[in-house]
Structure formats: structure tokens, C-alpha cells
Amino acid sequence: MPRTSRIERKTTETQVKVELNLDGQGKADINTGIAFLDHMLTLFCVHGRFDLDVQAKGDLEVDYHHTVEDVALVLGEAVSTALDDRFGIRRYGFAVTPMDDALAEVAIDLSNRPFLVYHLPSVLESVGRFDRGLAKEFFRAFAVKGGMNLHINVKYGENEHHVLESVYKSVGRALRQAVSIDANRSSVRSSKGVL
């Protein structure tokens, strides 16, 4: 059974369409109007081996915030929808990913109990209008709609681009592990019997 989803969201601020295949090859067609976010989501796909099509239009003349948050909300919902009842998934995923001067550690629990822990170092160089604050808003919305407990810890890094790149790669890798099917499971991975 294919683990795919197609979700759309239209508001007065944004229009977002996401198509996701959890069992893909890492193919990305991303167009949010925010080049840096497109780059980060492409890395997420390549390293998680998800096929992802994101088309978004937003009020970028006002701010990047609405588009970033709404893309994350739709992507999180797409992950949750593709997982259906989460039967047989490994549930947990972990990745440590270096990017030059930065090292990100990410742990995910697809528990349907959303929570975000987000620790990044202070850095000297900024990536412009898309910064660590916007990335935090992205991951908070993604975790809430995706039904995941998401821990992001970057112990060190000097360049904000490298820090964020290591985070998006790690999230992709950890999520791939968490959504993978455990052939030895005959139920959901929970003592409660449900996620």
C-alpha cells in the first residue's frame, strides 16, 4: 500500500499544495518563493529519500513567516496522513549530521504527542531573512501537524547556513528511520496499543 498524501491549504495569506511519498527516492520539486527554504526542503528530501512536491504562494512582501509556517503545517499534515494509523512503523528515529563547522543531533518519536525541543548555538553569520527563528517556527508547526515529538540539538556551529543545513538533513534522516516499516512488528509500537 503506497504511503502517499496530497494536502492543500488556502488562506488569505498563503496557498500551499504538498504531495508526499514517504517511500520515495529523494525527488524534490520545491517552489515556495523563498529560495533558502526551497534549498532546505530539497536537502530534507534527498537525505530522507522522500519524494516531495511543494508549491506555495504567500504574502512574501509582508514577511516570510506566513509562508514558512503554512508550508510546515501542510507538510506535517502530509506526513501524518501518509502514515495513516502508524501501524508497523519503527516510530523512533535518530540522526547526527555534520555540515562543515556544525553538528546537528535530531531525535523523533512519531507518538502523536507533538512537542518541539530546539537548541541552536549563537552564530555570527546570518542567512538573511530566513534565520534560526523562522526555522524554529517551521519545525514547531511541522511537529504539531505531524504528530511528532521532535528534538533538535546543535551543539556547535559558526555559520548559520551550515547550522540550519545540518538540521534539515538530520530531520530528513531521522524521519526516514522513524517512518520505516519494522517487519517484526504486528501492531503499533506502544504499550497502549495505539499512537
Confidence class of residue 86 from pLDDT cuts 50, 70 and 90? very high
Contact 18, 42 (CB under 8 A): no
Confidence class of residue 27 from pLDDT cuts 50, 70 and 90? very high
Confidence class of residue 139 from pLDDT cuts 50, 70 and 90? very high
Confidence class of residue 1 from pLDDT cuts 50, 70 and 90? confident
What gap in Å lies between CA 75 and CA 142, rounded to an integer? 7
**pLDDT at 148 (0 to 100):** 98
What predicted TM-score, i.e. pTM, was given to this entire model?
0.94
**pLDDT at 125 (0 to 100):** 62
Q: C-alpha dihedral over 186, 187, 188, 189, to 10 degrees?
A: -60
Please give the residue that has the higher pLDDT: either 124 or 183.
183
Residue 171 DSSP class: H
Is pLDDT at 187 greater than 70 in this prediction?
Answer: no
What gap in Å lies between CA 116 and CA 37, rounded to an integer? 19
The helix/strand/coil state of 44 is helix
Query: Can you read off the three cell numbers belonging to residue 129?
Result: 531573512
Q: Where are the domains of the chain?
A: 4-179
For the ranges 1-10, 120-129, 155-164, 173-182, the lowest mean pLDDT is seen at 120-129
Is pLDDT at 94 greater than 80 in this prediction?
Answer: yes
CATH fold of 4-179, please?
Answer: Ribosomal Protein S5; domain 2 (3.30.230)
